[in-house]
Amino acid sequence: MASYDNKPHADFPIPYKTIEEANSHLIEKPTEEHDAVIATFPLQPFIERPFTFTHPFRLYKGVWISELLLRGILEMQQRFKSRPTDIYLASSPKSGTTWLKAMIFATLTRTSYPLSQHPLHTHNPHQCVPHMERKFATGQSQIMEVIPSPRVMSTHMPYSLLSEFITDSDCRIVYVWRDPKDVLVSLWFFVQKIMGGADKVATFDQFYDLFCQGVHSFGPIWNHVLGYWEESKRRPEKVLFLKYEHILQDPVKHAKQLAHFMGCPYTEAEENDGVVEQIVELCSIKTLKDLDVNKGGNRATSDGPISHAHYFRKGKAGDWKSHMTQEMAERLNAIIGEKFKGSGLQI
């Protein structure tokens, strides 16, 4: 296979700087302006072990959102301006966001860097694609303004909320979803890691019960998935609806679909040179997980540093089988099956 590295990369900026690294002077003091309003929104049900996430959830327009990210969303209402060239990666947490961030970023920047020296070797995907509501919650709204077009940003907002911010119908949305049973398991392990141990967080049974009631980060998950599904049926050229398990089965096919959707399809020469396969390899969990930046690095957040390693666990389909009884799986399937009824969607 010919190497993509042989191509000229005239504008190769060394070293790569994230938008945050390049604009640290624009970081402001995080806003507390909306906290009084947020305190009036309904609080998540009480459970003995307090932590289902770093901040409690509040119900906002039918969506359970952590108090921190709600700050960001309310701040966005005052300050966010969409651009027609924007690309939003939307997902429910733990559905494959990190993977898709890597894929989208690598796809867009594939002619700017030799793949062997691509920024993903030294930066976690979350440093390359900013999470909108987190940036706005943490005093980085000005940074979002200076990102050159086309901006690629991620969000966990359901379509019902995101659509309030999109003022131009040309914006594109890539949505990824995943079997909710695996989302739940992944979430439980993730929260344990960020909170520092299993004894610090709700038990799996508590997580499960809350999840079945839709009480989890940006839940209920069924509304999240259905919102983007319906919109992708209405506007398939602007909303790409992907499933984690399908990407796992055929990543090369989906990498091509993604590039085409984003308006930068692979050329015949690139396909012949094996560029698609090289990008898939670069973004695979095996490659990313083994990189020093993802083994040892941290992401500074207002919740404290989050280790990059936390974003990579097994990366498989069906891990729920090791953590859930058949009865639990059937109950959750039935809840979601009922919500999906008539939509044409299946888990």
- Amino acid making up residue 118: H
> What distance in Å separates the CA atoms of residue 127 and residue 21, rounded to the nearest whole number?
9
291 touches 308 (CB < 8 A)? no
> What distance in Å separates the CA atoms of residue 86 and residue 110, rounded to the nearest whole number?
18
Nearer to ligand A3P, 58 or 156 (CB): 156
212 touches 45 (CB < 8 A)? no
The one catalytic residue in 34, 156, 216, 254 is 156
Nearer to ligand A3P, 98 or 140 (CB): 98
| Phi, psi (rounded to 5 degrees) for 58 | -120, 150
Minimum CB separation from ligand A3P for residue 94, in Å?
4
Minimum CB separation from ligand A3P for residue 95, in Å?
5
Residue 34 catalytic? no
Nearer to ligand A3P, 93 or 119 (CB): 93
| Phi, psi (rounded to 5 degrees) for 171 | -55, 145
Closest CA to 206 of 41, 42, 53, 315: 53
**Assign residue 179 a region: left if phi > 0, alpha if psi is -120 to 50, beta otherwise?**
beta
Contact positions vs ligand A3P (CB under 6 A): 91, 93-99, 102, 182, 186, 189, 283-285, 288, 311-315, 319
Distances (CA, A) of 159 to 105, 174, 254: 22, 11, 22
> What distance in Å separates the CA atoms of residue 42 and residue 25, rounded to the nearest whole number?
36
Nearer to ligand A3P, 178 or 256 (CB): 178
Nearer to ligand A3P, 109 or 142 (CB): 109
CB atoms within 10 A of CB 233: 12
Minimum CB separation from ligand A3P for residue 38, in Å?
24
305 touches 124 (CB < 8 A)? no
Residue 85 in 3-state DSSP?
A: coil
Minimum CB separation from ligand A3P for residue 342, in Å?
28
User: Catalytic residues, which ones?
Assistant: 156
